[in-house]
Amino acid sequence: MTVDLVVKNAIVVTCDEEQTVIQNGGVAVSNGRITQIGESAALEQAAGSARNVLDGSGHILMPGLINSHCHAADSLFRGLVEDLPLEPWLQKVWTAEGAILNPQTSHLGSLLGFSELLLSGVTSTMDMFWYPMETVRAAREVGMRVSTGGIFFDGPGVDGATLDDRIASAEAFFEAFAGADDVFPATMPHGAYTVGPENLETARDITDKHGGLFSTHAAETKAEQADVEGRYGSSVIRHLDHLDLLDERTTLAHCVHLDDEEIAILARTGTTVSHNPMSNLKLASGIARIPDMLAAGVHVALGTDGAISGNDLDMWMALRLAATLHKGASQRADAVSTHQALGMATRSGARALGAADRLGSLEKGKLADMILIDVKRPHAVPMFDPVTHLVYSTAKSDVRHVFVGGEQVVRDGVLTRHTLDDTLNAVAELAPRIAATVA
């Protein structure tokens, strides 16, 4: 078997179940998968015949991060609407989106968002947006894996689609990407307050038919809880549970406002919660009960949400907040451990994608989605524990190299497949029109 790549001399943080760390180690990769992982000395034979050898000295090698909730193309609207609570904020955002978005601008925005994510070490993203085919096109151009699919939204929405259009395009999406290893097809209704029960069930039926994923916003604000309670007589999570929408293929973004019974429902059904601490803080939504969810056995993954509520797509910030915010809020220093936080950004994200068998950790047989982080930096020394460094002091600009399926998609902090300047120039050209939407 030809060895395509060996990375050696790195500090390997595998993020496996045992939280294995190898102080001087690396991996060998063939056909996009990890064929060997261990001490550098044990990799010498593979390195001797490898097509490509990367010296990882001065770097941490770890699995690529998995962003479990994003709207990459919304990066076009970064900083446009500020300091409003979710509901009036959404009205302004939808006005701006309606004026600007079409397949071309969605593609441009997705390129912008995915470039930022990939450069910062995110190798897979769950992304909900109006033109999912364009989302996939952009992800493939930069070289990132993506979970997306037909969006459901009662009324015309930004794309002006009818319900029949939405059903047809959701079906077509599954047919287009059946069997793809870089796309995890899903249906993505916007939320229980914007999509009625019948259409939620329709979205679910489509994804069930194809064995896909299901993701929606849920229990983000108190106002949303009151809205859903008023319409359907039960809280958001109970409502979704009554409709039989919760299981291990479902990811719910936010889940900020939950009672104990709702947490128990999420644990019982195996639903993944995507925790988006930056978005929840900035939109004044609240602080999710993550320590209680973890204690109850809920699977918690991590997300950035869109850059209009962020204002960037920084999984390292999300990671640091996941490990610090709940300590402050609960006044318990053990509220969320570094290993729990790192697990949210890696293994739990892989589970949310239905890909725990091939993503989320560096292990023999898994896909070679991996990143190298420069630790020859003043904020990285001394480094007594690499996991502590990753969670509490790594910045996205520390990410030097990124591999997806063994292919190097970021080299020395530069995208290899895509010319970033083209995207930046196109966004600059569009910016005056975007600004005019709220003028």
Q: Point out which residues bind Zn ion (CB under 5 A).
A: 305
Query: Which residue's CB is nearer to Zn ion, number 74 or number 262?
Result: 74
Identify residue 262 by its one-letter amino acid code.
Answer: E
Structure tokens at 438: 């709220």
Question: Using CA atoms, how far apart are residues 270 and 247, in angstroms rounded to an integer?
Answer: 5
Residue 89 has, within 13 A of its CA and on its CB side, a CA count of 18
Point out which residues pair with 36 in neighbouring strands.
28
Output the CA–CA distances (angstroms, integers) from residue 188 to 212, 224, 274, in the order listed.
11, 18, 14
Query: Which residue's CB is nearer to Zn ion, number 254 or number 396?
Result: 254
Other beta carbons within 10 angstroms of residue 245's beta carbon come to 24
Q: Which helix (H) or strand (E) holds 252?
A: strand 250-254
Query: Which residue's CB is nearer to Zn ion, number 35 or number 75?
Result: 75
Query: Which residue's CB is nearer to Zn ion, number 46 or number 288?
Result: 288
Question: Using CA atoms, how far apart are residues 125 and 117, in angstroms rounded to an integer?
Answer: 9
Other beta carbons within 10 angstroms of residue 356's beta carbon come to 16
* Closest distance of CB 254 from Zn ion, Å: 7
* Closest distance of CB 95 from Zn ion, Å: 17
Query: Which residue's CB is nearer to Zn ion, number 276 or number 361?
Result: 276
* Closest distance of CB 203 from Zn ion, Å: 16
Query: Which residue's CB is nearer to Zn ion, number 236 or number 404?
Result: 236
Query: Which residue's CB is nearer to Zn ion, number 26 or number 303?
Result: 303
* Closest distance of CB 216 from Zn ion, Å: 9
* Closest distance of CB 354 from Zn ion, Å: 20
Question: Are the beta carbons of 110 and 146 closer than 8 angstroms?
Answer: no
Output the CA–CA distances (angstroms, integers) from residue 225 to 8, 191, 253, 285, in the order listed.
51, 11, 14, 12
Q: Which residue is at the shortest CB distance from Zn ion?
A: 305
Output the CA–CA distances (angstroms, integers) from residue 171 to 163, 207, 369, 394, 438, in the order listed.
12, 8, 29, 41, 35
* Closest distance of CB 130 from Zn ion, Å: 13
* Closest distance of CB 303 from Zn ion, Å: 8
